[in-house]
Amino acid sequence: MNQHITSAMSQAFGRFASKEHKKYFQNIINRSYVRMMGLDMSEFDAPDTYPTLNALFTRKFRHKRSFSSDPKDMISPCDSLITECGKIEDDTALQIKGMRYSVDEVLGEGISDDAKKSIHNGTFVNFYLSPRDYHRYHAPIDMQVLHAVHIPGKLYPVNIPSLKKQVNLFIENERVVLECLSGEGKRFFMILVGALNVGKMVVSFEPRIQTNSNALNPSQYSYRELYLSKGDDFGCFMMGSTIVMLCEQEMVEFGISTGHKVSFAQTIGRLTF
């Protein structure tokens, strides 16, 4: 399979965003991006302190956000817009209203049939991170990571207009699938979906995953004792993108709806154990 043009375009943008330009020019780039996108920098360092545009994209908080310590509370893994959420009907979920996709297909061949079946008739949430959002992602609960699967693919935009017109966008785009367990042994998946101009999707616990590269075949990684605590930072998008969460039946009752804007650390659901 030849590299798709969306991947080539995104690699070119990634090289520009990763380049450390002369200080005065970098300051112009950073300030222009903040102004153009309307970034709220109140929780972050000043734009002039970031040596590259990617450093600005992947900025960290000056002070950690607080969140509920109740182990039953699930928090949002990111700052985002909820583009869709609801019940998985058999193996079908919504990309956006009127546009469905198969969760089995989005999980890919690297996930076992039994693991796929465990989330049939469960629940799903699609988190869309716009270019103005905080780009890092965090563990929504205390969790164990069983597998990570990198699936190369295209890099179509994942904004609302694209979700409405591009059939099977989540299935065609590059993605990283994380198979996880809650503390009570309930299975869920976090799927990091690439998008146009996403220079990289970084998974901090698995440096072998190199996205937006020349990889053409899926790669799989398994773990025996990999645990993340609620709120742990485990990577970032280098531009806006989407996280899809797929949960087993009777694992969580979500308190959010389509169209809600959520922030990392905000309680979005309650585990039902």
Domain boundaries, the chain: 5-57, 73-271
For each successive 10 residues of the chain (273 residues), what is the average pLDDT?
52 73 94 94 96 93 96 97 94 76 92 97 94 94 98 73 65 91 97 76 94 84 97 89 94 96 98 89
Q: Which fold has domain 73-271?
A: Glucose Permease (Domain IIA) (2.70.70)
Q: What is the dihedral of CA 18, 21, 23, 24, to 10 degrees?
A: -120
What's the pLDDT at 172? 80
Q: What is the pLDDT of residue 189?
A: 98
- Residue of 130, 155, 146 lying closest to 78 (CA atoms): 130
Q: Is the dihedral of CA 38, 67, 158, 197 positive or negative?
A: positive
Question: What pLDDT does residue 212 have?
Answer: 77
Catalytic residues: 79, 138, 241
Burial, 115: exposed, middle or buried (Cβ in 10 Å; 0-12, 13-18, 19+)?
middle
CA 126/CA 82 separation, integer angstroms:
6
- In this prediction, residue 101 carries a pLDDT of 85
Which pLDDT value is given to residue 1? 46
pLDDT at residue 169 in the model: 72
